[in-house]
Structure 1
Amino acid sequence: MISIKEVTKQTGVTVRTMRYYDQIGLLHPAGKTEGGHRLYGEKEMKKLQEIQFLKTIGFSLQEISEMIADENHDWFTGLKKQLGYVSKEKERLAQIEGTLRGLINEIMLNGNIDLFSVQKLIQLYQQNMDKREGYLNQIFNEEESKLLQNLPNINRDDPETLEWIALIAQLKKHMSKGISAPEIQRLIKRMYEKEQETFGDNKEFVEKIWDIRKSPQKSESAGFYPIDAETLDFFEKAYEFYVNKKSNF
């Protein structure tokens, strides 16, 4: 027999937790000393290990109590049910992760954040996924649909997306200098290079993307992150300036 303090020392389970397990009938001590201190034997230590293990894979104390009390417990069904719960929780956490990344990227892009607008965007994105995919399938062929996976996504933090966000943020910052400003043209040059790196010489695909991007309605249907008309108009003019200047060399 070992004391409750020795149990804590060996397992890391606190004295308070051990007392609580005793109180709710989950794990009673094997006995007590004359002074009333709880004592635990090999059987109780094994049961404690089972409890801690089941806790780590997500079972509640109530579920654990029922599982270890029933010698004929259906472990297969119980574990399958728990796996289903964990999978759903994983999906929920992935959505939260994407939302947090989106909020952070929103600040990087615009310097501030409108929680109400972002909430509306998230709800729209989640509720109309099938509709959005159907819309995109009408516009893009099978090969082009594969290229869509390479578009930046406000809810991701991959290097490509982060660079696009940084480029657009810098473009917005220097817009007052005009389309021919060196700072603007350096940004446009990098955007042009990224377009070529990502999509090659697939002009038809890029034109389809741009046609959607310029229309708030089409952008919403496609699930694209909204960019204000002023920034899009400025980008288009600065891009044309860059291409024309490039072709003259």
Structure 2
Amino acid sequence: MIHINEVAKQTKITVRTLRYYDQIGLLTASSKTEGGHRLYSEEDLKKLQYIQFLKGMGYSLQDIIGMLSDSKWNWSNSLKGQLGYIIEEHKRLKSIESSLRELINGIAIEGGDERLAVQKLIQLSNQNNKRMLTFKESMFNDKEMENWTKLPKMNGEDPDSMEWIALLGQIKRLMKEKDDPASSKVQNIIRRMLEKQAEEFKGDDDFMDKLWELRKSPKQSEMLGLYPIEKDILDFMERAFDIHIASRQDSPMQGGES
């Protein structure tokens, strides 16, 4: 027989939990010491392993009591039901994970302003998904729809999405700090944005130009499900892009091509 303290040590289950299992009739100790301490047999330990295994699959203690005490328990139906529950719970948790990532990334864009990020994400969540898809398909051809899948995602954790979000957050911060669109800090960000655009969209300028025009329209941008960006920020970015492109055209290396 094994003392309750030794069982707790071996199984990493607290004495308090073992006592509770005994109280509810889930695992009753086979014997007790003269001092009243619970003693467990090898069979008790096997049953405890069984309990922890079922608990790890998400079953409640009350369910486990029924499973282990009812000889006519339908294990197949029970396991299928539990699997269905776990699948639905997985979907629910994935949805929560997606929302958390969106909020974290939204706060990054808004420079730590969680209220503004929440307001914008609520605005997006109120959109009708079917209507958004219909509008998107009406605006882009099949090739452009393929490019759409490459755009950064607010709920993404991939390096590209994270970098785009960081770059946008930096642009917004610099604009609030009254930086000039022609400043070296802003131009370095614009340069990196153009590099990423070239890397990911392989020079498909027509798609990017169309997307930018749609992005500048608050209504169309919302219909596409894009994260809302204020007009003054978009105007600031456009001026910065124009300055960057003009500087490239005026540089000596570009002179022969103009």
TM-score by length of 1: 0.89
Equivalent AA in structure 1 for residue 164 of structure 2 = W
SS in 1 for 2:149: helix
Identify unmatched segments of 5+ residues in structure 1: none
Does 1:48 pair with 2:45? no
Does 1:193 pair with 2:195? yes
Equivalent AA in structure 2 for residue 77 of structure 1 = N
Does 1:71 pair with 2:71? yes
CA RMSD of aligned residues (A): 2.2
- Cα distance in 1 between the residues matched to 2:237 and 2:131: 29
Q: Confirm or deny: 8 A CA contact 1:109 1:169 kept in the other structure.
A: yes
- In structure 2, relative to structure 1, the CA distance for the partners of 1:95 and 1:66 (3 Å cut) is same
Structure 1 segment 114-125 matched on structure 2, within 5 A? 114-115=114-115, 118=118, 121-122=121-122, 124-125=124-125
Identify unmatched segments of 5+ residues in structure 2: none
Query: How far off its partner does 1:229 sit?
Result: 0.3
Q: Which residue of the other structure, out of 216, 222, 227, is the alignment partner of 2:224? A: 222
Give the aligned partner of residue 33 of structure 2.
Answer: 33
- Cα distance in 2 between the residues matched to 1:240 and 1:24: 73
- Cα distance in 2 between the residues matched to 1:133 and 1:229: 24
Equivalent AA in structure 1 for residue 40 of structure 2 = Y
Query: How far off its partner does 1:116 sit?
Result: 6.7
- In structure 2, relative to structure 1, the CA distance for the partners of 1:59 and 1:120 (3 Å cut) is farther
Does 1:134 pair with 2:134? yes
What is the CA deviation profile of residues 22-81 of structure 1, one whole-angstrom value per residue up to 9, with x for unaligned ones?
A: 111111111223332222222222111110111111111011111111223222222222
Q: Confirm or deny: 8 A CA contact 1:103 1:113 kept in the other structure.
A: no
Q: Confirm or deny: 8 A CA contact 1:216 1:226 kept in the other structure.
A: yes
SS in 2 for 1:94: helix
Give the aligned partner of residue 235 of structure 2.
Answer: 233
Give the aligned partner of residue 89 of structure 1.
Answer: 89
Does 1:15 pair with 2:20? no
What is the CA deviation profile of residues 171-213 of structure 1, one whole-angstrom value per residue up to 9, with x for unaligned ones?
A: 2233333332232222212111111111112122112211221
Structure 1 range deviating more: 58-67 or 174-183: 174-183
SS in 1 for 2:55: helix
Kindly, what percent of the aligned residue pairs are identical?
47
Equivalent AA in structure 1 for residue 98 of structure 2 = G
Equivalent AA in structure 1 for residue 195 of structure 2 = E
Give the aligned partner of residue 245 of structure 1.
Answer: 247
- Cα distance in 2 between the residues matched to 1:222 and 1:105: 18
SS in 2 for 1:51: helix
Q: Confirm or deny: 8 A CA contact 2:214 2:221 kept in the other structure.
A: yes
SS in 1 for 2:21: helix
SS in 2 for 1:188: helix
- In structure 2, relative to structure 1, the CA distance for the partners of 1:116 and 1:235 (3 Å cut) is closer
- In structure 2, relative to structure 1, the CA distance for the partners of 1:171 and 1:91 (3 Å cut) is same
Does 1:213 pair with 2:215? yes
SS in 2 for 1:152: coil
Equivalent AA in structure 2 for residue 141 of structure 1 = N
SS in 1 for 2:203: coil
Equivalent AA in structure 1 for residue 138 of structure 2 = Q
Equivalent AA in structure 2 for residue 226 of structure 1 = P
Structure 1 range deviating more: 174-183 or 47-56: 174-183
Number of aligned residue pairs: 249
Query: How far off its partner does 1:120 sit?
Result: 5.9
- In structure 2, relative to structure 1, the CA distance for the partners of 1:114 and 1:11 (3 Å cut) is closer
Equivalent AA in structure 2 for residue 219 of structure 1 = S
